[in-house]
Amino acid sequence: MADELEPSGESPEHEDPGAHLPSPTIWPFAFAGAVALILVGLIVSTIASVIGVVLAVVFGFLWIRQATREVRGEPEPVEAPEPEAVESEEGPVRIERARFLEGATLGLGALIGAVVTLPVLGFTVLPAFVEQGFPDVDLGPLDKYPEGEWRIATFVGRPEDGNVSRRTAFVRYNGLADQVPSFTIISNRCVHLGCPTQPQGPPGEAEEVKTSAAPVTLTPTQPSGFGCPCHGGAYDIEGNRVAGPPVRSLDRYEYSIKDGNLFIGAPYSVGEVTGAGADAVVVRYRWTDPGVHVDGPEEYLYPYSP
Amino acid sequence: MAKPKLHHRVRKFVMMPLDWLEERSGLVGAVHYFLFRKVPHDTNWFHTLGSATLTAFIVQTVTGVILAMYYKPSPEEAYASIQNITNELTLGWLVRGMHRWGASVFIILLFLHLGRVFLFGAYKYPRELNWLVGVLLLVLAMLEGFTGYLLPWDQTSYWATVVGINLNSTAPVVGPFLADFLRGGQEIGTETLSRFYSLHMLLLPGALIGLIVLHLYLVIRLGVTSPPWSKDAAGAERAEVVTAPRGLVEPRPRGDGAAADVRGRPEG
**B172 touching A (Cβ < 8 Å):** yes
Q: Which residue has the higher pLDDT, A306 or A58?
A: A58
Over 50: is that where the pLDDT of B265 sits? no
Over 50: is that where the pLDDT of B208 sits? yes
Instruction: Flag if A291 and B169 touch (Cβ within 8 Å).
Output: yes
Q: How far apart are CA A206 and CA A198, in angstroms?
A: 15
Instruction: Flag if B176 and A289 touch (Cβ within 8 Å).
Output: yes
- B163 to chain A: nearest residue by CA? A193
pLDDT band at A161 (very low <50, low <70, confident <90, very high): confident
Tell me what pLDDT residue A20 has.
63
Mean pLDDT of A252-258: 94
Which amino acid, A95?
A: I
- B175 to chain A: nearest residue by CA? A302
Over 60: is that where the pLDDT of B250 sits? no
Instruction: Flag if B170 and A303 touch (Cβ within 8 Å).
Output: no
What does the pLDDT look like over A122-140, one tens digit per residue? 998 888 888 888 899 999 9
Nearest to A128 among B162, B172, B180 (CB): B180
Residue A120 half-sphere exposure toward CB, CA atoms < 13 A: 6
Distance from CA of B71 to the nearest CA of A (A): 18
Mean pLDDT of A70-78: 67
Distance from CA of A31 to the nearest CA of B (A): 45
pLDDT band at A234 (very low <50, low <70, confident <90, very high): very high
Q: Give the number of residues written for chain A.
A: 306
Mean pLDDT of B181-200: 91
Tell me what pLDDT residue A155 has.
94
Instruction: Flag if A128 and B75 touch (Cβ within 8 Å).
Output: no
pLDDT band at A89 (very low <50, low <70, confident <90, very high): low
Q: Which residue has the higher pLDDT, B216 or B238?
A: B216
Cis amide leading into A202 (omega within 30): no
Give residue ranges of A with CB < 8 Å to any B CB: 125, 127-130, 132, 157-158, 161-165, 193-196, 230, 287-292, 301-306
What does the pLDDT look like over B26-46, one tens digit per residue? 999 999 999 998 888 888 999
Instruction: Flag if A289 and B162 touch (Cβ within 8 Å).
Output: no
- A231 to chain B: nearest residue by CA? B163
Tell me what pLDDT residue B229 has.
86
Q: Which residue has the higher pLDDT, A69 or B197?
A: B197
Nearest to B183 among A128, A158, A230 (CB): A128
Mean pLDDT of B50-65: 97
Q: Which residue has the higher pLDDT, A241 or B240?
A: A241
Instruction: Flag if A127 and B184 touch (Cβ within 8 Å).
Output: yes
- Could you give the residue ranges of the DSSP H alpha helices within chain B? 6-25, 27-35, 49-68, 78-83, 92-119, 128-150, 155-169, 175-183, 190-198, 204-222, 239-243
Which one of A138-142, B143-147, B242-246 scores highest in mean pLDDT? B143-147
What does the pLDDT look like over A267-305, one tens digit per residue? 999 999 998 888 899 999 999 999 999 988 888 888 887
What does the pLDDT look like over A6-52, one tens digit per residue? 444 444 445 555 556 667 788 889 999 999 999 999 888 889 999 99
- Whether the pTM exceeds 0.80: the reply is no
Partner A, chain B 59-78, Cβ-Cβ below 8 Å:
75-76
**B167 touching A (Cβ < 8 Å):** yes
Over 90: is that where the pLDDT of A96 sits? no
Over 90: is that where the pLDDT of A97 sits? no
- A126 to chain B: nearest residue by CA? B181
Instruction: Flag if B190 and A304 touch (Cβ within 8 Å).
Output: no
Distance from CA of B196 to the nearest CA of A (A): 12
Over 50: is that where the pLDDT of A187 sits? yes
**ipTM for this model:** 0.73
Burial of B189: CB neighbours in 10 Å, binned 0-12, 13-18, 19+? buried
